[in-house]
Structure 1
Amino acid sequence: MAPARPPPADRPGATRPQGGPASVKRSPTQRSGDAAEARALEFLAGQGLLPVARNVSSKLGEIDLIMRDRDELVFVEVRARARADYGGAAASVGWAKQQRLRREAQRWLSSTYGDRWPACRFDVCAVQPGGIDWIRGAF
């Protein structure tokens, strides 16, 4: 008999359902990140972007949000910080993190669109106590 297939949230490239069983075991930091992602999603939708996917992950990394802004796909990294010092949330997306996001985006684009990718960009939504800073084309 073949081994049971893992639940969808545990398969590479799957999205994690929000509020489902996986969220029960999440740490306070993870729950804070989930709340920041929800705030960013609501904010971006209010700016006219349409949600495509959320929490897309594989062994290469995770993309918090994928949105559509007219004819462009937008890969969004959501950063949450309780304080704005040390450069705030946006400054925490360093070169190595950018490279992981690019690789995961390439993997997702290839699996979703084959070799005909739409135009895309990388944005950062920095969720901080004073509100949300949206950095379009952050890298």
Structure 2
Amino acid sequence: MTQPTPSDARRRGALIEGVAADWLSAKGLALVARNQHAKGGELDLVMRDGETLVFVEVRHRASHRFGTPAETITASKQRRLTQAARFYLHRNGLSCPCRFDVLAVSGTPPRLEFEWIVGAFEAN
């Protein structure tokens, strides 16, 4: 079996993030931004849930053979996401309620399963 190239992985990631954004939009969230690069990390999706700004980390695994997608959100990853979110808020002059969600996506297109973890972690 050949290893996917980085461009294949990026393309697959962009596809999954697009499907994730559409799925969350169908659940009532509004897309604000995708792939926001900020100090220390990248914010996959920035969405609005009413007055709340939601930073969504999208994690994908084709199978659970090596664990679920949600299990890949380590304490270190949470710190990087928190730092990136603070930078995003500062850069855009925003002061609003925020939360961190995780959308764990399993399977391969077109058969995908979604686990939406609202308020997956607190800013530290």
Do the two structures share a fold, i.e. TM-score over 0.5? yes
| Residues 14-93 of structure 1 aligned to structure 2 (within 5 Å) | 27-93=7-73
C-alpha contact (below 8 Å) 2:39/2:83 kept by paired residues: no
> Normalising by structure 2, what TM-score?
0.85
Match of 1:138 among 114, 120, 123: 120
In structure 2, relative to structure 1, the CA distance for the partners of 1:127 and 1:72 (3 Å cut) is same
42-51 vs 121-130, greater mean Cα deviation: 121-130
Counterpart residue identity of residue 48, structure 2:
R
Percent identity reads 43
Task: Give per-residue Cα distances to partners, 1:36-57, cap 9 Å, x unaligned.
Answer: 1011100000001001111000
Residue in structure 2 matched with residue 13 of structure 1 by the alignment:
none
Higher CA-based Rg: 1
Task: Select 1:123's aligned residue among 92, 101, 110.
Answer: 101
Quote the offset at 1:31 in angstroms: 1.3
- Aligned-residue offset at 1:85: 3.3
- Runs of 4+ more than 2 Å apart: none
Tell me how far apart the structure 2 counterparts of residues 71 and 59 of structure 1 sit (CA, whole Å). 25
Shift in Å, 1:58: 2.8
CA RMSD between the two structures:
1.5
How far, CA to CA, are the matches of 1:104 and 1:39 in structure 2?
Answer: 23
Q: TM-score, normalised by structure 1?
A: 0.76
- Listed as ranges, the gaps of 5+ residues in structure 1 are 1-24
What is the one-letter code of the residue matched to 2:76?
A: A
Question: Which has the larger share of strand?
Answer: 2
Cα deviation, residue 26, structure 1:
5.6
